Amino acid sequence: MSDVDGPGPEVFGSSGGRILPVGKTVTVEVPASSANLGPGFDALGVALGLYDTITVTVIEAGLQLEVSGEGAGEVPEDASHLVAKAVEAGLRAGGVGAPGVRIACRNAIPHSRGLGSSASAAVGGLVAANGLMDGALSTDHLVQLASEFEGHPDNAAASVLGGVVVSWTERSGDGVRYRAVRMEVDPSIVATVLVPSETSSTAQTRGLLPASVPHEDAAFNASRAALMSVALASHPEHLLAATEDRLHQSYRAPALVGTTEWVARLRDRGLAATVSGAGPTVLVLGTGALPADLRELAERQGWTVLDLGIADGARVVDAG
In this prediction, residue 314 carries a pLDDT of 98
Which residues span the domain enclosing 70?
2-181+311-319
138 plus 251 within the same structural domain = no
169 plus 219 within the same structural domain = no
In the sheet with 272-275, reading across from the earlier edge strand, the strands are: 272-275, 282-286, 190-195, 304-308
Burial 175-195 (b: 16+ CB within 10 A, else e): eeebbbebeebeeebbbbbbb
In this prediction, residue 207 carries a pLDDT of 76
175 plus 281 within the same structural domain = no
- Per-residue HEC secondary structure of 48-99 comes to EEEEEEEEEEECCCEEEEEEEECCCCCCCCCCCCHHHHHHHHHHHHCCEEEC
147 plus 217 within the same structural domain = no
221 plus 163 within the same structural domain = no
In this prediction, residue 5 carries a pLDDT of 42
107 plus 199 within the same structural domain = no
CATH number of the structural domain spanning residue 68? 3.30.230.10
In this prediction, residue 204 carries a pLDDT of 65
In this prediction, residue 170 carries a pLDDT of 96
Q: What is the pLDDT averaged over residues 46-51?
A: 98
The pLDDT confidence band at residue 8, using thresholds 50, 70 and 90, is very low
pLDDT by residue (tens digit) across 120-130? Answer: 999 999 999 99
121 plus 33 within the same structural domain = yes
195 plus 167 within the same structural domain = no
51 plus 137 within the same structural domain = yes
In order of 14, 31, 62, 106, 116, the CA distances from 124 in angstroms are 19, 9, 20, 11, 12
Top pLDDT among 27 and 4 is at 27
Q: How many domains does the chain have?
A: 2
pLDDT by residue (tens digit) across 183-220? Answer: 999 999 999 999 999 887 666 666 788 999 999 999 99
CATH number of the structural domain spanning residue 212? 3.30.70.890
Whole-model pTM over 0.85: yes
150 plus 169 within the same structural domain = yes
The pLDDT confidence band at residue 17, using thresholds 50, 70 and 90, is confident
pLDDT by residue (tens digit) across 84-125? Answer: 999 999 999 999 999 999 999 999 999 999 999 999 999 999
- Per-residue HEC secondary structure of 267-302 comes to HHCCCEEEECCCCCCEEEEECCCCCHHHHHHHHHCC
19 plus 150 within the same structural domain = yes
6 plus 116 within the same structural domain = yes
Per the document, the length of the chain is 320
